[in-house]
Amino acid sequence: MANLKEGDKAPVFKGKDQHGKTVSLTDLKGKRVVLYFYPKDMTPGCTAQACNLRDNYSTLTKKGYEVIGVSTDSEQSHLKFIEKYELPFTLLADDDHKIVNQYGVWGEKQMMGRTYDGIHRTTFLINEKGVIDHIIKKPDTKNHTEEILERWK
């Protein structure tokens, strides 16, 4: 598991989006990338986070931010999630756990006394040069855009 910190070069990821198209950090060079990792499509917290980003998407794009979500759900699951909630941004299917491992967000979690492996909700703000400017651990799902704008002016 990677132990990334602010100021590190962001790992170059490559994954399939909801349409099966390959998306890579290399393709986004020169853009500011909001790379957010979330546990599962259609769950309450993940839906709140995605809808918060959707509702503020025009503000983020006006500032030049590219929003990309990553979970271990399938392309088909992402497509349903996007269609149901009219999400305007890309979701990457990381079913082989390559991206979550590169970014160190996969690991042991606990909920209701049960221990299991899963994604730790985390957002990486990557600048135009591919460097991690900020890491938001345990983002506030209902106010995530505000957290991003607060840290990245």
Confidence of residue 114 (pLDDT cuts 50, 70, 90): confident
119 CB burial (10 A radius; 0-12, 13-18, 19+): buried
* Tens digits of residue pLDDT in 55-103: 999 999 999 999 999 999 999 999 999 999 999 999 999 999 999 999 9
The answer to whether residue 6 sits within a structural domain is: no
Tell me if 126 sits within 8 A of 151, measured CB to CB. Answer: no
The residue annotated as part of the active site, out of 46, 67, 105, 148, is: 46
| pLDDT the model gives residue 3 | 87
Any idea what the CATH number is for the domain that residue 147 is in? 3.40.30.10
The answer to whether residue 50 sits within a structural domain is: yes
Q: How far is CA 125 from CA 10, 12, 92, 116, 120, in A?
A: 9, 14, 16, 27, 16
Confidence of residue 111 (pLDDT cuts 50, 70, 90): confident
The answer to whether residue 14 sits within a structural domain is: no
Per the structure, the complete domain to which residue 55 belongs is given by: 29-151
How far apart (Å, rounded) are the C-alpha atoms in residues 52 and 64?
18
The answer to whether residue 8 sits within a structural domain is: no
How far apart (Å, rounded) are the C-alpha atoms in residues 48 and 52?
6
The answer to whether residue 142 sits within a structural domain is: yes
The answer to whether residue 41 sits within a structural domain is: yes
Task: Tell me the mean pLDDT in the region 114-133.
Answer: 94
The answer to whether residue 124 sits within a structural domain is: yes
* Tens digits of residue pLDDT in 126-151: 999 999 999 999 999 999 999 999 98
The count of domains in the chain is 1
* Tens digits of residue pLDDT in 39-55: 999 999 999 999 999 99
Determine whether 51 is an active site residue: no
The answer to whether residue 60 sits within a structural domain is: yes
pLDDT at 1 over 60: no
